[in-house]
Amino acid sequence: MQIDFKQFPTTRYQGSKRKLLPWLYKHFSSLQFSTALDVFGGTASVSYLFKTMGKTVTYNDYLRCNYYIGKALIENDNVFLTTKDVEFLLRKHKTIKYIPFVEDTFKGIYYTDKENAWIDRFLCNWENISNIYPENISEYKKAMAFYAFCQSALKKRPFNLFHRANLYLRLNEVKRKFGNKTSWEGSFETYFKSFATELNGLIFSNKKKHYTLNNRASEINTIKAYDLVYIDPPYIRKEASGSDVDYLKFYHFLEGACDKQKWKTRINYSSKNLSLNDSKSNEWTSPKFNKIAFEDLFKAFKKSTIVISYKEPGIPSKSKMIKILKKFKRRVISIPGKEYSYALNKNNGFHKEYLLIGLDNN
């Protein structure tokens, strides 16, 4: 099967597998499976590959903002954002009460006052889209609108992240060696319309029913059987602290925006960047606990073919990881991929990508 990867969704996300899809495709093609679970779905680029390959896909991610990506791109087969929807989402309506929450709370942190006001208006309209369509349609429209919002918001951020209160990087009139000022300064409205159009072009049906979950990996219901389980967890680099891979710290602004009512109560007001307090600790970002998390996950899905995206040098080490996987799978194959330098900080050195595949047959 010939796949045109240029047509796949563009991504601006830490650890996105978008660039590795042709390599992943080559190796997934050699495995027999019809149903797949993408445990750490992120941008859904791998789920989208599975969908393109004709599989039945279950997308999962613990962040709500990512859940909407899975809903919009994977589960959604036939709902589109119309020009009227986009107009509704972007216009001011007399019937809607607008609250300047982002404008008041995030002043000078990530976006300009004008952009914050745009976000407030969008989010209030977005909450109201459920009143226009029946639930089975509005759930997808809502997810699609949030997808286009997230992509626009990320495009306008230095490093495409919310890890620092650094609007000044955008606004200072200095010579820069990084980033793209032209992208940061493009308007939310222009980006939103363009991502909505891009997204409409990505929706298709492969005639299978797909599912989207918003669970912690350890809380995924294991009653349902999956032929293949794909595991691409936060990467804990050897000699790095857990906060290096804390996705809630990277994307807290988008996560907060998904639920404005709770946002104000979840913000850590003593943090400079107004990040969110996590309700529970995350074993997948802890060098101390992630080994146990891997072992528990392998055990839970021991009947499935298990495929792990592993980066070296990581915690646990590759040999340790293979040892854990061998407790549950008869045969483990290790496939080396490319070597990379880090986009954010070249001083952090290189990493090498592997696929570890746990199988039961010979």
Ligand X SMILES: C[S@@+](CC[C@H](N)C(=O)[O-])C[C@H]1O[C@@H](n2cnc3c(N)ncnc32)[C@H](O)[C@@H]1O
**298 contacts ligand X (rule: CB under 6 A):** no
Residue with tokens 């230095």: 158
| DSSP-derived secondary structure for 236-263 | -BTT--GGGG-HHHHHHHHHHHT-HHHH
CA distance 288 to 43: 27
| Other CB atoms within 10 Å distance of the CB of residue 139 | 20
Q: Which stretch binds ligand X (CB under 6 A): 8-16, 92-100, 135-143, 255-263?
A: 8-16
Verify binding: residue 216, ligand X, rule CB under 6 A. Answer: yes
Considering only residues 48 through 77, tell me which ones interact with ligand X, judged by CB under 6 A. Answer: 61-63, 66
Q: Between 124 and 217, name the residue whose CB sits nearer to ligand X.
A: 217
Judged by CB under 6 A, the residue of 282, 286, 290, 305 near ligand X is: 282
| Residues with Cβ within 8 Å of residue 131, at least 6 apart in sequence | none
Told to check if 40 binds ligand X by CB under 6 A, we report yes
* Torsions phi, psi for 58 (to 5 deg): -120, 120
Phi, psi of 196, rounded to the nearest 5 degrees: -65, -40
d(Cα 310, Cα 237) in Å, to the nearest integer?
Answer: 11
Contact string 139-178 vs ligand X (x = CB under 6 A): ----------------------------------------
**By Cβ distance, which residue is nearest to ligand X?**
42
**Rounded CA gap, 52 and 47, in Å?**
9
Shortest distance (Å) from residue 84 CB to ligand X: 31
Of 38-46, 97-105, 195-203, 252-260, the window that binds ligand X (rule: CB under 6 A) is 38-46
Judged by CB under 6 A, which of 45, 76, 125, 152 binds ligand X? 45
Pairwise CA distance, residues 188 & 196, whole Å: 12
Please tell me the distance from the alpha carbon of residue 145 to that of residue 143, in angstroms, as a whole number.
6
Q: How many residues bind ligand X (CB under 6 A)?
A: 21
Least Cβ distance, residue 342 to ligand X (angstroms): 14
User: Which residues between 222 and 261 bind ligand X (CB under 6 A)?
Assistant: 232-234, 247
284 touching ligand X, by CB under 6 A: yes
Binding site residues, ligand X, CB under 6 A: 13, 15-17, 40, 42-43, 45-46, 61-63, 66, 216-217, 232-234, 247, 282, 284
